[in-house]
Amino acid sequence: MVSKSKQIILVSLAIFLLLGCASVKTKLPMEQGSVETGSSVTFRGEQLKLIGTPLSIGKPLPSAKLVDAMTMKEVDLSREMGSVLFLSIVVSVDTPVCEEQTHYLGDEGKKLPKEIKRITISRDTPFAQKRFAKESKLTEISYLSDYKEGDFGRATGTLIDKMMLLARSVILVDRKGVVRYIQVVPEITRFPDMDRAFQKAIELSKEP
């Protein structure tokens, strides 16, 4: 049985996910804090457990199956070598903060060196991601869906228990496939520190 408090959280999150807006113009304050993968996050103060294998800096990005929203082909980012991977992980592209996060990755991320691959990952279906990309005119970044079994979330310790959605995070992977930066936003309604992640990505792009 799901407790009454858990039911309230589920209903609240469902409402939150339905309140995506067509365009978010305001720049949200960036959260500098982070929690460990595989630990827990909060949704408006309510604690939510993260399930899966914790991800560690200095270790290779684990293998996980994702689906490319544009081609519908399976992608395994652990096999992507030679480029710096900027992984922007969102709860759903159709929510205000996630939309703002993706716009920031697309608009401000244009200033990043070309060898940095900008990727948005969520548990939205590939069709929802593709529609979002076209409607928002953010087609210069990649969209990968973890909609099938949540393989990526389980492999990185970013899957929210019960909700089965991905926690808001930013992960950077260097040219050799090694994880070099992780921010899991403690409160999933807040905005990640994209500027700090951009700077770190630039530093990684200069490494051989």
Catalytic, out of 41, 77, 97, 98? 98
Residues 6+ away with beta carbon under 8 Å from 154? 51, 52, 53, 64
Q: For the purposes of burial, counting CB atoms within 10 Å of the CB of 88, is it exposed (0-12), middle (13-18) or buried (19 or more)?
A: buried
Say whether 98 is catalytic: yes
Residue with tokens 């595989």: 38
DSSP string, 160-186: ETTT--BPPEEEEE-TTSBEEEEEE-S
Active-site residue numbers? 98
